[in-house]
Amino acid sequence: MRVITGSARGRRLETLSGNDVRPTTDVVKEAVFSIIQFYIEGRVFLDAFAGSGQMGIEAISRGAQMAYFIDSSRRSMNVIKKNIELCGFADKAETINADTISFLNSAGQRFDTVFLDPPYKTGLLQQALLAAPAVMRPGGFIICEHPAEEKLPEMSGDFALKKSYRYGRIMISVYTEKEKD
């Protein structure tokens, strides 16, 4: 697993081993950042269910002003902190060892992009998707990584499913603010 492009391009990142983690593949990661390529620089990114922190680190590498990393696992949080230090991004990163749903329901911070990639088939994605609109800045993106067979709702708060992209057994679903009448 590596940083694809930007200031930390080529850096190898650590990840936890075993069945508890499922890192986003480079193909899917590249696809996500192609979707939001013009909406990253100077913006605030939330890597929810962060795992290794690779998505938030990629965002910073590509010019995000700040990335927040949330994960409930202390082991994952240690890996995230190590990867942030390895890339020299400590001044642009904030790690939060907490339950993502609780964080989304109580966050005072607002985000331009929220990336949701919880453990598959646990119901956490649907819960996080319901809570995410409340922490979004105007014009933001909610991006969900999920199994291709899992159907997501057309709407979540004021956010509408704009488009879904399939990459083998993985689906990326992008939500944007519903257009006002």
User: Which contiguous run of DSSP H or E holds residue 33?
Assistant: helix 26-35
Could you tell me which CATH number the domain at 26-173 has?
A: 3.40.50.150
Domain ranges of the chain: 26-173
- Distance, in Å, from the CA atom of 42 to the CA atom of 45, rounded to the nearest integer, reads 10
Q: pTM score > 0.85 for this model?
A: yes
pLDDT one digit per residue (tens) for the chain, 181 residues: 889 988 999 899 988 876 566 778 888 999 999 999 999 999 999 999 999 999 999 999 999 999 999 999 999 999 999 999 999 999 999 999 999 999 999 988 999 999 999 988 889 999 999 999 999 999 999 999 999 999 999 999 999 999 999 999 999 999 999 876 5
Contact 77, 97 (CB under 8 A): yes
